[in-house]
Amino acid sequence: MKIDAKGYMDYVAKVAQKLADNRDYVTELDSVTGDGDHWVNMDLGFRKLLEQRSTLEALSLGELFKKIGMLVMSTVGGSSGVLYGSAYIKASQAIGQRESLDVPLLAEVLGAMLDAIMARGGAKPGFKTMIDPLYQGLEAMKAALAVGKGDRAALDALRAGSIAGMEATKAMEAVKGRATYRTDKGVGHLDPGAVTMCYQLQVLADCFSS
């Protein structure tokens, strides 16, 4: 259960596909609580990464994460661009010289990403953002690892936790982001950024498992 730079780009391709399959759904979610561009933004970023696949695959893992961060930040813009960009750049520091991700390092990487997103946007878990699935997924994963449950169980915990975090955004009141403009603060609607974050975590867990 290890993923190197090449494996990570396979993951990127799978996320791109997952996004392509859910265009209308994600667009609709951001149209309801936001400005309707979240799918366009994410799709643009992932297509950009795939365009450069051969160059990216040749990088070391740490370099790859840094480059992904820069590309996403500059191609996507918006909230998601800067948040994912910051997340990947911070994660590349956590990776350092290591050449492949195993499950414990994945937990470290996700932790670095979570910190970076929270630092950049000033939001916390419970604010109805992309943070919620990441936070809950990571917490569940870390709990599983802490009691020595093994990789597979840790990945299952990541899957389940991120889905729970994503679904929990439905009932939350938004504090950051465009859903705050609604008089109902978006209550009753899933956060689009949480949904796409959840997609990524699901695909990631799948990539490790296969």
Ligand X SMILES: Nc1ncnc2c1ncn2[C@@H]1O[C@H](COP(=O)(O)OP(=O)(O)O)[C@@H](O)[C@H]1O
**Based on CB atoms, which residue is closest to another protein, 35 or 99?**
35
| Interface with ligand X in residues 15-44 (CB under 6 A) | 30, 34-35, 37-38, 41
Angle at 165 between CA 162 and CA 167, to 5 degrees: 110
**Based on CB atoms, which residue is closest to Mg ion, 25 or 55?**
25
SS3 call for 78: helix
Q: Which residues have CB under 8 Å from 103's CB, separation 6+?
A: 1, 145, 151, 154, 155, 208
Measured from the Cβ of residue 74, the count of other Cβ atoms closer than 10 Å reads 13
Of the residues 137, 192, 204, 208, which one makes contact with ligand X according to CB under 6 A: 192
Min separation Cβ 68 and another protein, Å: 14
**Based on CB atoms, which residue is closest to ligand X, 26 or 203?**
26
43 binds, among Mg ion, ligand X, another protein, none (CB under 5 to 8 A by kind): another protein
Buried b / exposed e over 147-173, threshold 16 CB at 10 Å, is eeeebeebbbbbbbbbbbbbbbbeebe
Q: By CB under 5 A, tell whether 121 contacts Mg ion.
A: no
Min separation Cβ 35 and another protein, Å: 3
Min separation Cβ 42 and ligand X, Å: 7
- Burial status of residue 35 (CB atoms within 10 A of its CB: 0-12, 13-18, 19 or more): exposed
DSSP 8-state code for residue 101: B
SS3 call for 82: helix
194 binds, among Mg ion, another protein, ligand X, none (CB under 5 to 8 A by kind): ligand X
| Interface with ligand X in residues 80-119 (CB under 6 A) | 80, 83, 117
- Burial status of residue 127 (CB atoms within 10 A of its CB: 0-12, 13-18, 19 or more): buried
Min separation Cβ 179 and Mg ion, Å: 10
Q: By CB under 5 A, tell whether 35 contacts Mg ion.
A: yes
- Rule CB under 6 A: which residues touch ligand X? 30, 34-35, 37-38, 41, 78-80, 83, 117, 121-123, 129-131, 176-178, 191-194
